[in-house]
Amino acid sequence: MRDPRYDVLFEPVRIGPVTARNRFFQVPHCNGMGYRDPSAQAAMRRVKAEGGWAVVCTEQVEIHPTSDITPFIELRLWDDADIPALARISEQIHVGGALAGIELAHNGMNSPNLYSREVPLGPAHLPVATWTYDPVQARAMTRADIADLRRWHRAAVGRALTAGFDLVYVYAGHALGGLHHFLSRRYNDRTDEYGGSLENRVRLLREILTDTREAVDGRAAVACRITIDELIGEPGITAAETHDIVGMLAELPDLWDFVLGSWEDDSVTSRFGPEAGQEQYVSGLKRLTTKPVVGVGRFTSPDTMVRQIRAGILDLIGAARPSIADPFLPRKIETGDLAGIRECIGCNICVSDDFTSSPIRCTQNPSMGEEFRRGWHPERIAPRRTDARVLVAGAGPAGLEAARALGQRGYQVVLAEARRELGGRVARESALPGLHAWHRVVEYREQQLRRMPNVTTYLQSPIDADDVIEYGFEHVVVATGARWRADGVGRWHTSPLPVPDGAPQILTPDDLMAGQRPDGEQVVVFDDDHYYLGGVLAELLGASGYRVRLVTPAAHVSAWTANTLELVRIRQRVLKSGVQVDLNRVLTGLGPAGVITSCVFTGEQQEVGTDAVVMVTARLPIDALGAELDARKPEWAGAGLRSVRVIGDAWAPATIAAAVWSGRRYAEELDEPQAPVSVPFRREVTALAPDLP
Ligand code: ADP
Ligand code: SF4
């Protein structure tokens, strides 16, 4: 059972008229499901409540059509028609035994209103503050607009109560909640009673908090979510100002929820920020109020959590990502199963789904987002239907998860790995600068496999088709991964680059991860992959003293990491490593003394001297085992072999998250009857209006 050291985490906390059963608080977080997938969201939140979180919140909920943040998919509470979806979410959170929180939001200048076509509203006449540079301006709100906003917010509070929520947020954080724009000198240039002095800039927040208190009338708690420091110095909200704001409004909300800077700062990845990284900013705020305080910090260690409470920094341990990676984190601490915690690796794949308007997924927790769609659960899986024995070849993220989940189902499993260590690409990539936390993907699964007497793991055991035919397994899973190409083929070049005599040395990411280094001093990294690896390898080589030039056809280094909130920090780090960055250029040829790069727009060519080139372009599946077994199908029956399935990167190279998911899918579906449907998951389809105008 639980270690008494952690008892403090299980003390109830009073939040105004309601009581949290412990100190674990799932703060609002986006999930890419929102109004499109309400039942999927309801099931996802219920699982977290079941996992022991005392409070489970929605993401930001748009309160009005002037707060439409299309193309992002969040929840909406525009009118009564939206209540049933919200009611289902709160009901499911209650089924799990938690309090249901709702983050009401008017996004102000962060809403381009592309769907509603309403004119955005803000404190000033300024372009909307969106990630997508929408060619739209917000209009400075008049007093009448402010009165409207207050009315809309009150109406939304009423609807939130009808929908059954216990805790209602007023959102002034991340430069996403519109109240943030009023607080910040960066956006608020007003000369009326809502601008100028701090007292004036706080006025609207005070009014909305007061309205909300009145509207809930003791039936729900009121939370205020506010940015501690915009991290841009004097033009923005500073920590000193936030101290003053909290001093002014200290007892008005029932709960303070502190966030740091913009979303990029608040949800910093493990590559750029440690656990509890916000401590220095949150410290001291609790002294300004008697009301409970919640904050985040990618908390996964119970000792760190206890320290936050004992040191008087937080009252409630806030978590978005740790609750995504392990919805049962509180229960595991409560039952003393610390080794069973699936720790968040801080990769922000979960965040990327919000940016791509796709349902949330998680590298560590393949069931995230699949609770309703496929009926998956983070801790439970159906028992095996047969006594079949399964051989899993390859212990990368796909093979490890397949073996773990098959083992949990009760199958007899052999996991055979060619190398000396488990983890495949994760073992190698986590040794690169800043990616150490990613090794948790391996550690969690290794730990689980150790507990399973029905799973046997063999290292240094490359499997070939003869082995499979000889050993007599009923099912074989080929999870043998992929290798990086050296021929330049990727998005730009779809056929190999010619390599003339005397061309510079060509290396792949696999070569570098295996410890090989360029001959000579100069190296070109050609990144046509656009996720993290090109940037990481440039950083690695730059920090090792090479003269590095990163060439990419994209307009940014590691362009896709805009979706993981890392774009700016990656660029900063690459530049600090002394790397020269050539954007919008493509490597078009190899010559005796270097390479030729061309402008992607004009084709203008440049010769670049270099000793070596690292091709970060694309991968090829290592699927020979699957292909050979397929060719030997006539021998299967004699060997007792019934199925061979290729999964993960060996089937089609993708993210680590996709590899883990494919392992889970294999295990979920083995021996299960497959319904004859074309869509292999549950979804909700928009209800048609009864008639057309
Ligand atoms: P994925 O991301 O799909 O899990 P990885 O490349 O991370 O793929 O992992 C594949 C693993 O499979 C690697 O650890 C590799 O050493 C191992 N492997 C490759 N071929 C074989 C084989 N024939 N038998 C056993 N293990 C193999
Ligand atoms: Fe953590 Fe990555 Fe999962 Fe997000 S996707 S919760 S950052 S492990």
> What spacing in Å lies between the alpha carbon of 350 and ligand 1's midpoint?
25
Q: Which residue do the tokens 């098959």 mark?
A: 406
Query: Which atom from ligand 2 is nearest to the alpha carbon of 364?
Result: 8
Ligand closest to Cα of 656 equals: 1
Would 25 be classed as within a structural domain? yes
- Decide if 444 is catalytic: no
Note whether residue 690 is domain-resident: no
Length of the chain: 693
Per DSSP, the three-state class of 535 is: helix
What is the Å distance from ligand 1's center to 417 Cα? Answer: 7
Say yes or no: 444 and 466 in one domain. Answer: yes
State the pLDDT at residue 675. 75
Ligand 1 centroid to residue 479 C-alpha, Å: 6
Same domain, residue pair 148 and 291: yes
Ligand 1 pocket by Cβ (under 6 Å): 393-399, 416-419, 424-425, 462-463, 479-482, 622, 625, 648-650, 659
The residue annotated as part of the active site, out of 229, 265, 266, 623, is: 266
From the CA of 458, how far away is ligand 1's center (Å)? Answer: 13
Residues 6+ apart with CB under 8 A from 494: none
Closest residue by Cα to atom 5, ligand 2, is 362
Ligand in closest contact with the CA of 659? 1
Q: Which 3 state secondary structure label does DSSP give 80? A: helix
Verify that 56 and 154 share a domain, yes or no. Answer: yes
Nearest CA-CA partner of 330 in 102, 20, 690, 666: 20
3-state secondary structure of 301: coil
Q: Which of 349, 430, 445 should be mutated for ligand 2, with most atoms under 8 A from CB?
A: 349
Based on the fold, state whether residues 576 and 664 are members of the same structural domain.
no
Task: Tell me whether residue 527 is one of the annotated catalytic residues.
Answer: no
The catalytic position among 37, 64, 82, 171 is 171
Do 162 and 116 share a structural domain? yes
* Residues 570 and 581 occupy one common structural domain: yes
* Chunked mean pLDDT (size 10), the chain, 693 residues: 96 98 98 97 98 98 98 97 98 98 97 98 96 94 98 98 98 94 96 98 98 98 96 92 96 97 92 91 94 95 97 97 98 97 98 97 98 98 97 98 98 98 98 98 98 98 96 96 98 97 96 97 98 98 97 98 97 94 98 95 97 98 97 96 98 98 98 86 94 94
- Structure token pair of residue 693: 């105008």
Identify whether 30 is a catalytic site residue: yes
pLDDT tens digit sequence for 369-409: 999 999 999 999 999 999 999 999 999 999 999 999 999 99
135 and 23 share one domain: yes
Residues with CB under 6 A from ligand 2: 321, 324-325, 344-350, 362-364
Alpha helices in 217-273 (DSSP H): 239-249, 263-266
**Cβ(136)–Cβ(120) under 8 Å?**
yes
Structure confidence at residue 361 (pLDDT): 98
Residue 492 and residue 593 share a domain: yes
Distance CA 527, CA 553 (A): 8
Span 278-318, pLDDT tens digits = 899 999 999 999 999 999 999 999 999 999 999 999 999 99
Q: Is 458 a catalytic residue?
A: no
Give the amino acid at 663: G
Selecting among 29, 30, 362, 528, the annotated active-site residue is 30
Q: Are residues 397 and 545 in the same domain?
A: no
Asked if residue 459 is part of any domain, the answer here is yes
Q: Which residues contact 678 (CB under 8 A, 6 or more apart)?
A: none
Residue 457 DSSP code: E
State which ligand 1 atom lies nearest to the alpha carbon of 427.
7
- The answer to whether position 475 is within a domain reads yes
> Residue 674: its pLDDT value, please?
82
Residue 189 lies in a domain: yes
CB 467 within 8 A of CB 479: no
Q: What does the alpha-carbon distance between residue 552 and residue 571 come to, in Å, rounded to a whole number?
A: 13
Q: Which of 174, 180, 493, 556 is an active site residue?
A: 174
Within this chain, do residues 279 and 200 fall inside the same structural domain, yes or no?
A: yes
Ligand 1 centroid to residue 379 C-alpha, Å:
26
pLDDT digits (tens, 9 = 90+) for 410-453: 999 999 999 999 999 999 999 999 999 999 999 999 999 999 99
As for how many domains the chain has, the answer is 3
Say which CATH number the domain at 261 has.
Answer: 3.20.20.70
Residues 417 and 503 in one domain: no
On whether residue 366 sits in a domain, the answer given is no
DSSP-derived secondary structure letter, 271: T
**Which of 342, 376, 403 is at the close of a domain?**
342
Q: Are 121 and 190 in contact (CB under 8 A)?
A: no
Q: Report whether 51 contacts 328 (CB < 8 A).
A: yes
Strands 137-140 and 221-227: unpaired
For ligand 2, atom 3, which residue shows the shortest CA distance?
A: 362
pLDDT at 251: 98
- From the list 278, 284, 207, the residue with the least C-alpha distance to 249 is 207
Q: Which domain holds residue 168?
A: 4-342
Nearest to 409 by CA among 359, 364, 475: 475
d(CA 492, CA 423): 30
The answer to whether 122 and 175 are in contact (CB under 8 A) is no
Task: Tell me: do 627 and 615 sit in the same domain.
Answer: no
